Amino acid sequence: MRNITDEKLLDYYINKYKMYEIFESNMKPYMEIVEFDKGEDIIVVGKEIKYFDFIVDGKAKIFKELENGKSVLLRFTRPLSELGSMELYREDKTADTNVQALYSATLIRIPMSILLEKTKNDILFHKYIIKRLGHKLETVSMTASINNSYPFKNRFASYLISITRTDSNNRVDEINFDKLTDLATYLGTSYRHLNRVIENFESEGIIKKENKQFIILDYEKLESMTGGFYE
């Protein structure tokens, strides 16, 4: 994680996402910019959440660790979204999910203690949080629908679309061939079935393997196969 001291960049993000409309008072003096590298932990399960974060660039994945040590995907989150809204009004600020930068991610963060103090009577902010919590519930419902109502090939298509880097020629560099066993558990299927679906996608010219990664060849066809998105 890197702290970025750049007032012009902070103003840029505040104006880009109209963050001044979220609060009744000026919260800029309490904001700071931080950057996370690909794969770096933003929030770790079991640790106290000390900051309320806005994702202003990049994307993060949210996942849950199971008792057997494996992980399952919950959803992805992209700008403008926030981390910490679920814990904001809880007395216990301990994280119960992990959040990790999918690629590099830029966040604007406010110390949780300061946010709670400054927004006690901020109706505008409370309305924003209620709206965002509603969106998160819809996303969780969509994820459950994808997992329960669609064959795995459609779920895998949804996953590939969700993690695709549109700024890098549709390269899906989140998937490494050496970690397909973990990915199968992550997506709730067997390694054998995941391999079979990958081979079918390759034979249909939808994706191809390259340097231990995947590249999407037919984005429109892949998108047509999705049952929704994990975000």
Contact 147, 212 (CB under 8 A): no
What domain count does the chain have?
Answer: 2
Where a domain ends, among 114, 146, 178?
146
State pLDDT tens for residues 80-104. 999 998 888 888 999 988 999 988 8
Is residue 231, in this structure, part of any structural domain at all?
no
Helix or strand or coil: residue 187? coil
Contact 146, 158 (CB under 8 A): yes
> pLDDT tens-digit profile of 92-141?
999 988 999 988 899 999 999 999 999 999 999 999 999 988 877 777 67
Q: Kindly report the backbone phi and psi dihedral angles of residue 138, in degrees, each rounded to the nearest multiple of 5, phi listed first.
A: -65, -40
- Quick one: 21 and 95 in the same domain? yes
The pTM of the full predicted model, rounded to 2 decimals, is 0.81
Instruction: Please check whether residue 116 lies inside any domain of the structure.
Output: yes
Q: For residue 16, give the amino acid letter.
A: K
Domain coverage including residue 48:
2-146
pLDDT tens figures, 172-199? 655 666 678 878 877 878 889 999 999 9
Residue 217 makes CB contacts below 8 A (sequence gap 6+) with 170, 205, 206, 207, 208
